């Protein structure tokens, strides 16, 4: 099983897009996306220095555009799973067919501008806490009125909040933990970004999403999202909500992913995977940084991708599991019952607690695909709805 990952802010490097512009049609595509995002992506990806591409308003659309440009050079119909880190979720949502690439780049432009504006309202920042017991680190962070904005796994938790509180963090950490200040504009993925969330929601309201065409993991809880409207809502809320990349990596392993391609600019997420999954055995990894890496990525797809199906499209939908755990169907439901859009059909007991399983289409419960107390994985089908609409 193959997964494609889209990186987030901090992965950018000066000039990293220059090799891609040698490919036919890429520069024209990038100029079109520049018009949609409101920034000069050609300049940012080729001539801009490190300081210029650190600007949140410029970095976010640049990263989403870069990932999608690289993905367009691959036969991704065999890819089973997509995920992205922070703003990279917009790229992942486009790869899964929830939104179009044009919409992803447009939203990234809005997201970047509005988050940069929100950063200017108060003196906030972020710091990486490395090592230590994760629960003790989170308790120490929250004890200072800060937020655990990113839980990246591999012994890394990013604290965010007021600058004066961050200054006290080093003296309040548990044994084995150390802190490193990050050069960022403000406290991303915290309530300080509420103005940006509102602005992004206003634009996202004009987008009509589609349901994912492949397993799409969410930063909110690492779980698979099977409905487009829900994913679009999560993309908006993610601006103020923590990034649980640790749970995304755990579910990649639970799904049985055997190979991973990280899209340009690559290396950050595959590095985390190597460290986080070293005891379980990390999947085979390819970093797609330049066109020279395309043969290796295509070879990985050929060896680990799912065989394309030529069966007719079935006239039903499946409800899938959002996370690993144990499934319990609603005892009041039996096959043949009518199901409402939004109706709870059961729950899955996960390591983080119970999660309701909700049908996102009206239809008839034609078949249970999992039984009571069955162990289930993220993305696993749980029930089939006939006549779904």
Q: Position of tokens 């993309």? A: 235
* Sign, CA torsion 137/138/144/149: positive
- Give the residue numbers annotated as catalytic, written as ranges: 86, 189
Look at residues 15, 263, 247, 291 and name the one whose alpha carbon lies nearest to residue 150.
247
Tell me the C-alpha distance between 354 and 371, whole Å. Answer: 16
Tell me the C-alpha distance between 337 and 61, whole Å. Answer: 45
Tell me the C-alpha distance between 387 and 389, whole Å. Answer: 6
> Measuring CA to CA, how many Å separate 142 from each of 36, 121, 137, 159, 351?
38, 22, 9, 9, 21
Around Cβ 373, how many Cβ atoms within 10 Å?
10
- DSSP summary character for residue 91: H
Six-digit token string for 196: 């940006």
Contact 259, 284 (CB under 8 A): yes
Q: Position of tokens 């049908």? A: 359
Q: List the alpha helices (DSSP H) in 144-279.
A: 163-167, 194-204, 228-237, 245-255, 268-276
Around Cβ 248, how many Cβ atoms within 10 Å?
30
Tell me the C-alpha distance between 354 and 54, whole Å. Answer: 39
Contact 328, 347 (CB under 8 A): yes
CB hemisphere CA count around 350 (13 angstroms): 21
- Helices 101-119, 194-204: crossing angle, 10 deg rounding: 160
**Cα 133 off chain centre by:** 25
Strand 353-358 to strand 344-350: parallel, antiparallel, or no bridges (unpaired)? antiparallel
């Amino acid at each position: 099983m193959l997964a494609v990952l889209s990186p987030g802010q901090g992965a950018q490097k000066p000039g990293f897009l220059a090799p891609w512009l040698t490919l036919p049609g890429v520069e024209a595509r990038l100029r079109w996306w520049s018009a949609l995002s409101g920034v000069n992506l050609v300049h940012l990806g080729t001539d801009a220095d490190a300081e210029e591409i650190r600007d949140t308003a410029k970095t976010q659309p640049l990263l989403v555009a870069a990932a999608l440009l690289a993905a367009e050079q691959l036969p991704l119909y065999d890819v089973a799973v997509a995920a992205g880190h922070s703003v990279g979720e917009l790229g992942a949502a486009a790869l899964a067919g929830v939104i179009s690439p044009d919409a992803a780049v447009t939203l990234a432009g809005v997201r970047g501008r509005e988050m940069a504006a929100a950063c200017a309202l108060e003196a906030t920042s972020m710091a990486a806490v490395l090592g230590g017991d994760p629960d003790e680190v989170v308790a120490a962070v929250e004890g200072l009125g800060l937020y655990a904005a990113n839980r990246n796994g591999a012994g890394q938790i990013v604290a965010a909040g007021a600058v004066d509180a961050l200054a006290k963090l080093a003296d309040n950490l548990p044994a084995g933990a150390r802190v490193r200040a990050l050069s960022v504009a403000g406290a991303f993925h915290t309530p300080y970004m509420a103005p940006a969330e509102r602005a992004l929601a206003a634009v996202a309201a004009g987008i009509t999403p589609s349901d994912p065409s492949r397993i799409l993991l969410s930063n909110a809880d690492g779980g698979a999202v099977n409905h487009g409207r829900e994913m679009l809502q999560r993309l908006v809320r993610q601006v103020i909500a923590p990034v649980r990349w640790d749970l995304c990596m755990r579910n990649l392993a639970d799904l049985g992913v055997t190979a991973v391609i990280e899209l340009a600019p690559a290396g950050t997420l595959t590095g985390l995977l190597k460290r986080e999954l070293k005891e379980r055995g990390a999947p085979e990894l390819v970093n797609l940084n330049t066109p020279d890496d395309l043969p290796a990525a295509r070879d990985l797809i050929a060896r680990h991708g799912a065989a394309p199906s030529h069966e007719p499209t079935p006239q039903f939908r499946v409800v899938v599991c959002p996370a690993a755990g144990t499934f319990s169907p609603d005892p009041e439901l039996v096959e043949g019952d009518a199901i409402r859009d939004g109706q709870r059909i059961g729950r899955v007991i996960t390591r983080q607690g119970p999660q309701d399983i909700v049908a996102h289409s009206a239809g008839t419960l034609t078949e249970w695909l999992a039984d009571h107390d069955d162990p289930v994985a993220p993305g696993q089908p749980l029930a089939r709805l006939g006549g779904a609409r």
